[in-house]
Chains A and B, each alone.
Chain A
Amino acid sequence: MKINSSEIKWHLLFIILVLLLIYPLLFSLSTSFKTMSEAFQSSSLIPADPTFSAYDRVFTTINFVQILSNTFIIAALVTIFKLVTSVFAAYAFVFFHFKGKTALYFLLISTIFIPFTVTMIPNYITLSKVGFVDSIYGVALPQLADATGIFLLRQYMKGIPMSLMEVAELERASHLTRLRTIVVPLIRPAILSIGIIFFINSWNEYVWPAIMIKSEVNYTLSLALQMFVSSEGGTDVPVAMAVATLTMLLPLGLYAVCQKFIIGTFAQSGIKG
């Protein structure tokens, strides 16, 4: 394959970008295998004397399994509910005809532009009144529906030829049947990749769980990470990096498995619409 000079320029740029993006990952991975003193003295990416002691300390100081399962439950709940509500709402916005549909849709979409900082206090107050403070369900509850998901899935559903739905209509298929037999199978890649994005976003969330959760049994991974770098907890860099590495594993694995859907979804969203 011949590469011309303008392509080489682009490739160089991308290689630099990739190195910049991947450096923090390699840094945390390598630091997690270093001793405390080496972590402060050397900036080499290859540990001089690799050790698992940081990982040992992770599992002895915190209840890692509990924290992992907390994070997973929140992310799974949020992802599943967001997907279900998004699919149903998007279906209604595309295939139902009712008065005020456009106005309602734009009202809904406008919520995307409300910053999180505006809603976090009212949400906290509401949840504290119904007794959901310091609970992983309290973290999940305000996130069960999402305008971004509705917006993206609506774009996909609009791409489904009307005649396919009319074939179903002539068979007197109910809306649920149409959703199950036609719409969902056709936009399955989009649903999957949007689901992964929802999952990773929830997995990485820090501010909202930090507000809601008080006791250590309810911690999520990002909160646990903070225990090892805060002024009170002392700064145990290798342990913090070990937690960070463990935190990355699941999203990275998910992405590796599903990357072909994700890339396809975002490549297509420009064409369809």
Chain B
Amino acid sequence: MYSIEFKNVIKRFGKNEVIKGLNLSIRKGERLILLGSSGCGKSTILRMISGLETISSGELYLNGKLANDMDPGDRGIGMVFQNYALFPHMTVEKNIAYGLRIHRIPEKEIADRVKKAVTILNLDGLEQRLPRELSGGQRQRVALARALVKQADFFLLDEPLSNLDAQLRGKARKELVRIHEMYGQTMIYVTHDQIEAMTVGQRIAVINDGRIQMLDTPHEVYRRPANLFVAKFIGSPSMNVFDGQTAAGTMRLNDTALPLTPGWAEKVGTAGAEKLLAGVRPEDITLTAEPEEGAVPVTVQYHEDYGSRVGYYFTINGEEVISIMRDDVLQGCRQAYWKPNPGALHFFDAATERNIGYPEEAAE
């Protein structure tokens, strides 16, 4: 039995269809990330789970029970909002205990649960402060505490870290994972930040235009993207995609014919696509100043030094391509030789934008 199950769920706002036939099964206790750019429908999915948004058609099951018309208060939801939604007129303690008091839980137990959450989230000594007397990170932790003390089955987070600065965000990510492992609720986490998605998620649902583009582990989503959208969305800088002109076991890159491995040659030959697009991540290449066998000569137009890495820009088959090396291997030289790692190629059908798959031998 799944913890949360969407079956052909559609959500319309007026005539505008925001969620287009969603099928999604979420396991009990897992950390699932809904990842997508703003307006893709990820928050709508979260709000449909919570019941704050109704479902236009289809079915939603929570713990096996049909929940389409279930009252939000009966669903067992602990939720963290993007703006934290702390009550400005209540102290930290009153904010955390708000739901417990409404449910008339005995004061003794409220005190115990609040104490536990306050300790876990390092809020000791702040219980009597008002939200406006707290820093951004502390407010975020109060919001987490309020969602946790409920001990609800589902723990929903809507971009919980987006109002924190970069340093705090890194710390908060680890903390979220630690807390989830402690409480073990089913956690649904909405974000547009791929680093958060990769580090917090056990599975990631990449969403675009109201549809799930791919649902898999962070590793698979990065290594074997299901389609062009996922390939370009995940990874920074994003994957280089260019015209993949293949013929007789080779791929033409500018004026060079790069031989494909037998596995790739077979896969590409049987893909049945009229036109292929080839993809390679900026870091899955070798770039040298000296000619190398099977390498494509390129002219570097621009380079960027990130400190830890260096990025080089040039053109392959008419597309701008970026390659990333650990050191400045070219030392100002504009003529270079570029070779994608054979195990790190991706091919997409240009018409459907789907990944054609990988040969057996392709190393992960």
Main secondary structure of the interface of A (DSSP, over half): helix
B293 within 8 Å of A (CB atoms): no
Chain A residue at smallest Cβ distance from B156: A170
1/0 per residue, CB under 8 A from B, across A160-174: the answer is 010110111111110
Contact status A186-B81, CB under 8 Å = no
Which of B66-74, B174-182, B184-192, B330-338 forms part of the interface with chain A?
A: B66-74
A69 within 8 Å of B (CB atoms): no
Contact status A170-B52, CB under 8 Å = yes
- For A161, the chain B residues whose CB sits under 8 A away are 83, 85
Chain B residue at smallest Cβ distance from A169: B72
Chain A residue at smallest Cβ distance from B74: A172
> Which residue of B51, B52, B89, B103 is within 8 Å of A171 (Cβ)?
B103
Contact status B87-A163, CB under 8 Å = no
B222 within 8 Å of A (CB atoms): no
User: What separation, in Å, do the CA atoms of A177 and B101 have in the docked complex?
Assistant: 11
Contact status A163-B81, CB under 8 Å = yes
Contact status B83-A186, CB under 8 Å = no
- For B72, the chain A residues whose CB sits under 8 A away are 166, 169-170, 172
Contact status A164-B87, CB under 8 Å = yes
Q: In the assembled complex, how far is the CB of residue A179 from the closest CB belonging to chain B, in whole angstroms?
A: 13
Contact status A185-B89, CB under 8 Å = yes
Contact status A164-B85, CB under 8 Å = yes
B88 within 8 Å of A (CB atoms): yes
> Which residue of B74, B88, B103 is within 8 Å of A186 (Cβ)?
B88
B50 within 8 Å of A (CB atoms): yes
Contact status B77-A170, CB under 8 Å = yes
- For A171, the chain B residues whose CB sits under 8 A away are 73, 98-99, 102-103, 150
User: A185-B89, A186-B88 are contacts. A170–B99 as well, Cβ < 8 Å?
Assistant: yes
Q: In the assembled complex, how far is the CB of residue A160 from the closest CB belonging to chain B, in whole angstroms?
A: 10
B79 within 8 Å of A (CB atoms): yes
Q: A167-B81, A167-B99, A169-B72 are in contact. List 20 more A-B contacts (CB 8 A).
A: A161-B83, A163-B81, A163-B85, A164-B87, A166-B50, A166-B52, A166-B72, A166-B81, A168-B98, A170-B52, A170-B77, A170-B79, A171-B73, A171-B150, A172-B72, A172-B73, A172-B74, A181-B87, A185-B89, A186-B89
Give residues in A with beta carbon < 8 Å to B: 161, 163-164, 166-173, 177, 181-182, 185-186
- For A173, the chain B residues whose CB sits under 8 A away are 73, 102
Chain A residue at smallest Cβ distance from B52: A166
- For B88, the chain A residues whose CB sits under 8 A away are 186
- For B87, the chain A residues whose CB sits under 8 A away are 164, 167, 181-182
Residue of A163, A166, A167, A186 with most chain B CB atoms under a 10 A cut-off: A167
- For B102, the chain A residues whose CB sits under 8 A away are 168, 171-173, 177
The 10 closest A-B pairs by CB, nearest first: A172-B73, A163-B85, A171-B99, A163-B81, A185-B89, A171-B102, A173-B102, A167-B85, A169-B72, A170-B77
User: What separation, in Å, do the CA atoms of A171 and B82 have in the docked complex?
Assistant: 18
Q: In the assembled complex, how far is the CB of residue A112 from the closest CB belonging to chain B, in whole angstroms?
A: 30
Chain B residue at smallest Cβ distance from A167: B85
User: What separation, in Å, do the CA atoms of A113 and B184 have in the docked complex?
Assistant: 59
> Which residue of B73, B78, B83 is within 8 Å of A169 (Cβ)?
B73
**Cβ contacts A to B, 16 pairs, < 8 Å:** A164-B87, A166-B81, A166-B85, A167-B79, A167-B87, A169-B52, A170-B79, A170-B99, A171-B98, A172-B71, A172-B103, A181-B87, A182-B87, A185-B89, A186-B88, A186-B89
